[in-house]
Amino acid sequence: MSIRTLQTSFASGEISPALFGRPDLAKYAAGLRRCENFVIHPHGGITKRAGMRFVAKAKGKCRLVEFEYSIDQTYVLEFGDRYVRFYRDGRQIQSGSEPYEVATPYSAADIDGLSFTQSADVLYIVHKNHRPRELYRVNDTNWVLADFAFKNGPWRGHGADIEAVAVGLSAKTGNIVLTASAPLFKSGHVGGLFSVIHHVDEVSVKSSGDAGGAWASASITGVQEETGSSGEGGPTYSYYYTVPEAYRGYFAVGRRCRVYSAVSGDGYTDCSVSSLSEEGVVTFSPPAPVRVGAVDCSVFVPASSGGRTLEVTAYKGWRLESGGFWGGTVFLEYYDEDESAWVKYKTYISESYAEGTSSSCGNAKNYSDQDVVDKPTRLRVRAASFTTFVPEGNSEEDRGYFQLAANAAEHRAVMKITAVYSPTSAAARVLTAAAATKATVNWEEGAWSDAQGWPSAAGFYQERLIMGSTREQPQSWWMSKTGDYYDFGASFEALDDEALSGTLVSRKMFDLRYFVSLGDLLVMTSGGEWKLSSGAAGGAVTPSNVDVGLQGNRGCAAIEPIVVGNMILFVQARGLRIRDLGYEYASDSYTGNDLTVLARHLFEGREIVDWAFALEPDSMCWAVRDDGLLIGMTYIREHEVVAWARYPTDGVVERVASVISRGSDLVYLCVRRGAERFIEVMEPMEASTAAEAFMVDAGITRVSASAQREVSGLSHLNGRTVCANADGDAVEGLVVEDGRVMLPEAARVVHVGLPYAAVAETLDLSYQRRDGAQLTRKSRVASVRVRVERTRGLSAGAAAGGPGNAVYTGPGVSEAQKALLFEVPERSDEESGEATRLFSCDHEIFFDSSYDEGRMVLYAPHPLPCSVLALTADVAPAG
C-alpha cells in the first residue's frame, strides 16, 4: 500500500544534522537537508538565486559601505587602502574614463575598524586611531572628506597623580603658550582640545553723580609686599594698590577718585590718579590709605572723555538697571567679534529736565534688564544723549544713573593644542577667550586626541550625535547638544539641550561598539547590551534625565547590527551566532532569540565577517563567512520565518552591502575570483521569459539589434569556462579568449558569465504509520510530483546514499547523484525554432529508487530560472 507525502513549504531552510532525529519539531516538516543557491521565500517556495552582474574590478582589498539619501539616491562606497570609490544604481561612478575616487587616510589595515553613521548627505566616519571625519556628497562626482570639527568638548577629568599640576596661559586670546607646573603635555595632545577654568568675580560699572560726567564703579586691590627686615630682625613691608585689567581704562591720570578704604569718617577718600604703571600699580594724590585685599572705588569719567560708555565683559549672565532722575537715549550694545563692530542690542529712553526743575516733572522712566550669553561677550552702555538732574526738593542721592554688571561666573577657556615643546610647555590656539592668564589647577584635557584615542562608535539619538569608546575610555559615550552635532560643550549649569556624557559601569571592561536607535538607544558592547533612555520619567534624554540599564550579557561582535522593523539583528561576540533583539512588554526589557539554533552547522568553526539586509523582495539577511562562503537567512519575525541557505559561487565572497531601490533592493558583493576582486550586483529575480533571466555570476549582458554569435566585454573572465543564456536557451562550455566568446548559434539577448547550480535535498521522510513512526525505517519513493512556477532546466531524483547522516557539501552534486536525476520535461506546444517557454505546472517524475530514507534532490545547473512550490511523493513503506 502506497502513501502520498506532501511538503508545501521549505520555510525552515537548511537545518543542522544535529536535528535530523527531531521530526517532532514543527520546523522539521518545512526543512531541507541541503539548500544551496535556492532563495527561500517567506511564503514557503524556493527559487534559484539571481546571478551576480559584473560592475567593475575592485582596486584592492576593500569594504563596501551603504549610503542612502533617498529611495532614488543610494550609493555603495568602496573603502580600500587610502581611497574610496563610488557606485550608484549598479554602476561605478566615473570621472572621465577613470573611476571617481577620493583619497582617505585609512590604510588597508584600518578599514575593518571603521564605523559609520549617516545624516542626510553626510557620512560620519570614526576609527579608534583616527580623528573623526565626515564625507559629504555635493553630487555624484564631488564628494569631500574633511575633519569632523567638534567644539567645546568633550572633556576628560585628570587623575589624582596630576591633580596638583597648575597650567598658566601666556595670553587670553590668539596663539598662546601653555605652561604647566609639572610634566603634563605629550606629543599626542597635538590636534586635541584643552580647557582652563577660571573663576570670574562680578564686575559692575555705574554712571551717576555730576551732571557733566559719570561715576564708574571699579575695584582695586591693596597689596602688602615684604621688602626686608628691621633692625630687630623683623620683616618690613611696602603697601600699594593695583588695578585689575578690566578697570584700567578708567584710571587716566588726573581723574577724580573715591577710594572706599573706610579710613575717613564718611568711609571714602577723595583723591585723583597720580600715575598708573604698565603692571597696573596706581598711585593717588593725596595718597589713599592702603587696605590689603579688594577695595571698592569710583572714578569720575567726564563727558569730554570721548563718549559716555560703561563696558563689562560678561562670561555668563549680565544685568542692567537705571534709577533716579535722568533723560536722554541710552543704548546697550554688544561687540561682534566677527564683524569687529559694536551692535545695538537694546534702547532705553527717558525725558530730560533742567537741573533744579520743579518736582512736578515726575519720575524719570527707569529700567531693569538681564540675560545670559553663551560665550564671553563685551557689553557696553552708550549714551547718545544723557543728562542727570535733581528736581527741586530732592537730594543729590536722587541723581540719575545707569549700572551695568557682569555676574560672577566660572568660565571655561577652550583652546586647541598646535605643538608640544616639552612636557611642561605647549603651543595652543585659543578658541574661546580666557578670563585670566594666571596658573590654575582647574584644567581639563579633551577626551579625544592621539594621546587619549579617538571615538570608534557613532550614531544618532533624539537629534543628538553620539560617539563613544576611545582607547583610554572604552566604555564611555558622549552626546552632542540637541540639534548641533558638532558641539559637545556643556555649561556648569548643565541645561537640558546641552551635551551630556557617561560611562557604562560593569564588572569587566568591554569595548562599546555600536549605538542603535530603536525608541530607546541600545548600546552594544563586546560583553553586553545596554539600554539608554530617559527612564521612568519619559521625555527627552537630558543631563539630568538619563538612565542606563543592562539588558543582556551576550555581547556584540565587531559587525554593525542591522535594524529590521522594530527588531535588531546582531552577531554575537566571537561571531558564532546571530541573534535578534527587541522590546518585550511583559518583561519591560529588550530580549530576543538565537536565529542560528536550527542551522548550527553553518557556523561551527566559522565566523561572520560581514553582512547586509535586503528587505525586498524576500526580507533576507546576506552574511559572509570567514572562508568566503555567502550564506543567507530569510527573516520575518511576525511569521516566525527563520530559514538559512548557502550561496556558493566560483570565488570567495569578501564583502556584501545592500541599498534600497524601487522594486528589489540592490545587493552588492566584493568577490575574489582568482587573483582579482570584482564588484558585482545580484540581479533581481523577476523574469517573465527565459531570455530575461540573468543566471550567471560575474556576468554581463549583451543586447544587439540583430542576432550575433560573438559576445565581447569579458576580459575580466579571460581563460575561464563560462556559460550563456542566449535568447532563452542555455549554452555551456564556452571559454573566454581575448575578452570574448563565440556562440554556436547567433542570438540577440545574451547573458554570459560563470555557471552555478542550485540544489535542494529533502530530509528523511517522516510520517505516522499504523505500527509507529517512520523515522529510521526504510521507504521507496516510486514517483514525485513537483509543482513549479516559471521554471526551466530542473532535474529531480532520489538522493544518493552516503555513510550515516553525512551531507554532501558541494557545490553542486556528486557524479553518483547525477546518475539518479531525471530532467523535468520542458517543451510542450512551442513552434519549431521558438524558445522554450517557462512553465508553471505540476510535473510527475518516476524514480528508479530502492528502499532507503526517502530523500529527494532538486537540481538546477543551467543558467535558467527555477522555482519550486511543493513536492508530493508516492511512497511505499518497508515492512
Are residues 368 and 320 in contact, defined by beta-carbon separation less than 8 angstroms?
Answer: yes
Which range has highest mean pLDDT (101-110, 256-265, 804-813)? 101-110
DSSP 645-685: EE---SSEEEEEEEE--SSS-EEEEEEEETTEEEEEEEPP-
What CATH number is given to the structural domain containing 233? 2.40.30
- Picking from 795, 786, 799, 761, the residue whose alpha carbon sits closest to that of residue 844 is 786
Are residues 76 and 84 in contact, defined by beta-carbon separation less than 8 angstroms?
Answer: no
**How confident is the model at residue 838, as a pLDDT?**
87
**How confident is the model at residue 214, as a pLDDT?**
64
* Averaged pLDDT, 262-276: 74
What is the spatial distance between Cα 693 and Cα 684, in angstroms, rounded to a whole number?
9
Residue 635, beta-bridge partner list: 642
What is the spatial distance between Cα 296 and Cα 259, in angstroms, rounded to a whole number?
7
Q: Are residues 714 and 771 in the same domain?
A: no
pLDDT at 710 > cutoff 90: yes
**How confident is the model at residue 253, as a pLDDT?**
79
Angle at 848 between CA 842 and CA 853, to 5 degrees: 90
Q: Are residues 277 and 301 in the same domain?
A: yes
* Range with the poorest average pLDDT among 258-272, 472-486, 714-728: 258-272
- Picking from 859, 727, 869, the residue whose alpha carbon sits closest to that of residue 786 is 869
Are residues 196 and 438 in contact, defined by beta-carbon separation less than 8 angstroms?
Answer: no
* Averaged pLDDT, 340-362: 75
* Averaged pLDDT, 823-841: 76
Residue 383, beta-bridge partner list: 330
pLDDT tens-digit readout, 518-551: 889 999 999 999 999 887 777 889 988 899 999 9
pLDDT at 365 > cutoff 90: no
- Picking from 410, 466, 445, 505, the residue whose alpha carbon sits closest to that of residue 156 is 445
Residue 703 lies inside a defined structural domain of this protein? yes
**How confident is the model at residue 825, as a pLDDT?**
78
The dihedral sign for the CA sequence 62, 68, 72, 73 = negative
Q: Which residue stretches of 747-860 are H helix? A: 815-818
**How confident is the model at residue 766, as a pLDDT?**
79
* Averaged pLDDT, 309-336: 88
* SS3 at position 424: coil
Residue 791 lies inside a defined structural domain of this protein? yes
* Averaged pLDDT, 99-126: 96
What is the spatial distance between Cα 793 and Cα 826, in angstroms, rounded to a whole number?
8
Residue with cell 600699594: 240
Pairing mode, strands 52-57 and 697-711? parallel
Q: Are residues 744 and 829 in the same domain?
A: no
Q: Are residues 867 and 842 in the same domain?
A: yes
Radius of gyration, alpha carbons of the chain: 40
pLDDT tens-digit readout, 622-659: 999 999 999 999 999 988 999 999 999 999 999 999 99
Grid cell listed for 443? 584644567
Are residues 738 and 93 in contact, defined by beta-carbon separation less than 8 angstroms?
Answer: no
pLDDT at 360 > cutoff 70: no
- Picking from 710, 709, 708, 678, the residue whose alpha carbon sits closest to that of residue 696 is 678
pLDDT at 343 > cutoff 60: yes
- Picking from 146, 148, 153, 167, the residue whose alpha carbon sits closest to that of residue 432 is 153
- Picking from 206, 432, 403, the residue whose alpha carbon sits closest to that of residue 316 is 432
- Picking from 169, 168, 170, 167, the residue whose alpha carbon sits closest to that of residue 158 is 167
* Averaged pLDDT, 677-690: 89
**How confident is the model at residue 158, as a pLDDT?**
79
Domain carrying residue 720: 696-754
Residue with cell 596663539: 175
- Picking from 476, 403, 485, the residue whose alpha carbon sits closest to that of residue 216 is 403
pLDDT at 700 > cutoff 60: yes
What is the spatial distance between Cα 38 and Cα 866, in angstroms, rounded to a whole number?
9
DSSP conformational letter for 510: P
* Averaged pLDDT, 730-734: 94
Grid cell listed for 408? 560672577
Burial class (CB in 10 A: 0-12, 13-18, 19+), 629: middle
What is the spatial distance between Cα 34 and Cα 817, in angstroms, rounded to a whole number?
14
Q: Which residue has the higher pLDDT, 23 or 155?
A: 155
pLDDT at 140 > cutoff 70: yes
Residue 261 lies inside a defined structural domain of this protein? yes
Residue 728 lies inside a defined structural domain of this protein? yes
* Averaged pLDDT, 602-608: 92
The residue among 754, 773, 794 that closes a domain is 754
Give the number of C-alpha atoms closer than 13 A to the C-alpha of residue 532, restricted to the C-beta side. Answer: 30
Residue 778 lies inside a defined structural domain of this protein? yes
DSSP conformational letter for 394: -
- Which DSSP helix (H) or strand (E) runs through 142? strand 142-147
SS3 for 82-141 is CEEEEEECCEECEECCEECEEECCCCCCCHHHCEEEEECCEEEEEECCEEEEEEEEEECC
* Averaged pLDDT, 275-294: 87
The answer to whether the peptide bond before residue 244 is cis (omega within 30 degrees of 0) is no
Q: Are residues 733 and 816 in the same domain?
A: no
Q: Are residues 873 and 762 in the same domain?
A: yes
Residue 364 lies inside a defined structural domain of this protein? no
**How confident is the model at residue 226, as a pLDDT?**
84
Q: Are residues 744 and 776 in the same domain?
A: no
Angle at 501 between CA 497 and CA 504, to 5 degrees: 140
**How confident is the model at residue 833, as a pLDDT?**
66
Grid cell listed for 63? 569594504
- Picking from 395, 329, 393, the residue whose alpha carbon sits closest to that of residue 361 is 393
Residue 64 lies inside a defined structural domain of this protein? no
* SS3 at position 250: helix
- Picking from 722, 724, 668, 721, the residue whose alpha carbon sits closest to that of residue 694 is 724
Domain total in the chain: 3
* Averaged pLDDT, 568-573: 93
Grid cell listed for 322? 537705571
The residue among 274, 305, 336 that closes a domain is 305
On average, the pLDDT of the chain sits at: 88
Q: How confident is the model at residue 847 (pLDDT cuts 50, 70, 90)?
A: confident
Q: Are residues 779 and 854 in the same domain?
A: yes
Say how many residues make up the chain.
Answer: 879
**How confident is the model at residue 230, as a pLDDT?**
64
Burial class (CB in 10 A: 0-12, 13-18, 19+), 734: buried
Q: Are residues 725 and 827 in the same domain?
A: no
Q: Which residue has the higher pLDDT, 417 or 324?
A: 417
Are residues 678 and 716 in contact, defined by beta-carbon separation less than 8 angstroms?
Answer: yes
Grid cell listed for 803? 555513510
Q: What percent of the chain has pLDDT over 70?
A: 93
pLDDT at 711 > cutoff 60: yes
Q: How confident is the model at residue 305 (pLDDT cuts 50, 70, 90)?
A: very low
* SS3 at position 410: strand
DSSP conformational letter for 371: E
DSSP 158-191: PPGGGTT--EEES-SSSEEEEEESSS---GGGTT
Q: How confident is the model at residue 356 (pLDDT cuts 50, 70, 90)?
A: low
* Averaged pLDDT, 170-195: 94
Q: Which amino acid is at 127?
A: H
Are residues 129 and 451 in contact, defined by beta-carbon separation less than 8 angstroms?
Answer: no
Are residues 337 and 433 in contact, defined by beta-carbon separation less than 8 angstroms?
Answer: no
Q: Name, in order, each residue with C-beta under 8 angstroms of 526's C-beta and a sequence gap of 6 or more.
A: 510, 511, 513, 555, 556, 557, 558, 573
**How confident is the model at residue 782, as a pLDDT?**
84
Are residues 489 and 498 in contact, defined by beta-carbon separation less than 8 angstroms?
Answer: yes
Q: Are residues 724 and 783 in the same domain?
A: no
The residue among 284, 305, 326 that closes a domain is 305
**How confident is the model at residue 190, as a pLDDT?**
96
* Averaged pLDDT, 436-460: 94
Q: From the CB of residue 759, how many other CB atoms can be counted at a distance below 10 Å? A: 24
**How confident is the model at residue 359, as a pLDDT?**
52
* Range with the poorest average pLDDT among 224-233, 462-471, 607-616, 795-804: 224-233
Residue 322 lies inside a defined structural domain of this protein? no
Q: Name, in order, each residue with C-beta under 8 angstroms of 348's C-beta and a sequence gap of 6 or more.
A: 322, 329, 330, 331, 332, 367, 402
Q: Are residues 292 and 248 in the same domain?
A: yes
pLDDT at 211 > cutoff 60: no
* Range with the poorest average pLDDT among 9-13, 336-340, 458-462, 698-702: 336-340
Q: Are residues 721 and 805 in the same domain?
A: no
* SS3 at position 442: coil
Q: Name, in order, each residue with C-beta under 8 angstroms of 80's C-beta and a sequence gap of 6 or more.
A: 58, 59, 60, 61, 62, 63, 108, 111
Burial class (CB in 10 A: 0-12, 13-18, 19+), 672: middle
Rounded to the nearest 10°, the torsion over CA 415, 419, 421, 423 is 60
Residue with cell 595670553: 171
DSSP 289-335: PP-SEEEEEEEEEEGGGTS-EEEEEESSEEEEEEESBEEEEEEEEEE
What is the spatial distance between Cα 480 and Cα 398, in angstroms, rounded to a whole number?
51
- Picking from 870, 660, 854, the residue whose alpha carbon sits closest to that of residue 72 is 660
Are residues 74 and 93 in contact, defined by beta-carbon separation less than 8 angstroms?
Answer: no
pLDDT tens-digit readout, 47-58: 999 999 999 999
